[in-house]
Copies of this chain bind each other. A is one copy, B any other.
């Protein structure tokens, strides 16, 4: 059973997508929506809060809500998983494991994965492609407790996220992402077919379970021009953070 407010949010989102409420237009008042959907004002507020965090509408005390945009944010799965994102966008995606080996956790990795230095981890190098073109190089370190399940995945598997869910029921629930630009190194340039020193978009991330237990720590590098990250924010909700770049050593 899906929640009432989700249904209301969906109806309003559809209306916005259809252009019934064009960008810049006002939404009906909460009271009006409550009547229309035969729900309490609280439920209606939950619904519009969903749209607000999606960046579709904005609001301020005393004035009607306004429509800010029509594109919808992607789901967490689509952000976390390259394959799920690419599929949702309608691209043909493939992946290939190039290296895979167990070793002891380094100092940085241990901190990221909440392990003791030297505890076993699984290091994997994967090349991801869109429409047959190599687009992203992924260097992932998995915590030891999930390593067996990762090793059972076939090397050409498209979606590791999905494989881990299906094999051991693992759900990625929270992520932290660090985004910056780096120059392509020797290995990067060879595998991504770009010149050495050319710009790459780097996304480093830690992903954890529902319980807050870190599962993986990854360094993903995208060929310049292949992908863009997009964020909507407001005075009220601000997910994005800018940091000085000298905070952590290269992995």
Residue A234 interfacial (CB < 8 Å): yes
- The answer on a CB contact under 8 Å between B231 and A176 is yes
Would you list which residues of chain A between 142 and 185 have a CB under 8 Å from chain B?
A: 171-183
Copies of this chain assembled into the complex: 2
CB distance from A193 to the nearest CB of B (A): 16
Q: Is A226 an interface residue (CB 8 A)?
A: yes
A53 touches B242 (CB 8 A): no
Interface residue stretch chosen among A31-39, A102-110, A195-203: A195-203
Kindly state the separation between the CA atoms of A12 and B199 in the bound complex, as whole angstroms. 42
Stretch at the interface among A63-71, A92-100, A118-126: A63-71
A68 contacts B174, C-beta separation under 8 Å? yes
Q: Does A29 contact B (CB under 8 A)?
A: no
- A242 is contacted by which of B55, B225, B228, B240 (Cβ under 8 Å)? B228
Closest to A174 in B: B234
What would 24 A/B residue contacts be, using CB atoms closer than 8 Å?
A53-B237, A55-B174, A55-B176, A60-B173, A68-B174, A68-B212, A76-B234, A76-B238, A79-B240, A79-B241, A89-B244, A91-B244, A174-B235, A176-B231, A177-B230, A178-B230, A179-B231, A180-B228, A183-B224, A197-B197, A227-B243, A230-B240, A237-B239, A239-B240
Asked whether A242 and B177 contact (CB < 8 A) given A199-B199, A199-B200, the answer is: no
Given the contacts A24-B114, A212-B58, A231 and B239 also touching, CB distance less than 8 Å:
yes
A91–chain B nearest beta-carbon distance, Å: 8
Is A228 a contact partner of B247 (Cβ separation < 8 A)?
yes
Q: Once the chains are docked, how many angstroms separate the CA of A248 from the CA of B97? A: 32
A interface residues, Cβ below 8 angstroms from B: 23-24, 53, 55, 58, 60, 63, 66-69, 71, 73-79, 85, 89, 91, 114, 171-183, 197-202, 208, 210-213, 222, 224-247
* CB nearest neighbor in B for A203: B242
Alpha-carbon distance A224/B178, docked complex (angstroms): 13
Closest Cβ–Cβ distance, residue A220 to chain B (whole Å): 10
Beta-carbon contact of B228 and A68 below 8 Å? no
CB pair B24 A210 closer than 8 Å = no
* Residues of chain B within 8 A of A180, CB atoms compared: 201, 224-225, 227-229
Asked if A177 and B240 make an inter-chain contact with CB atoms under 8 angstroms apart, the answer reads yes
Q: Which residues on the B side are within 8 Å of A243 (C-beta)?
A: 227-230
Contact A242:B229 (CB < 8 A) given known A183-B199, A201-B180, A235-B173: yes
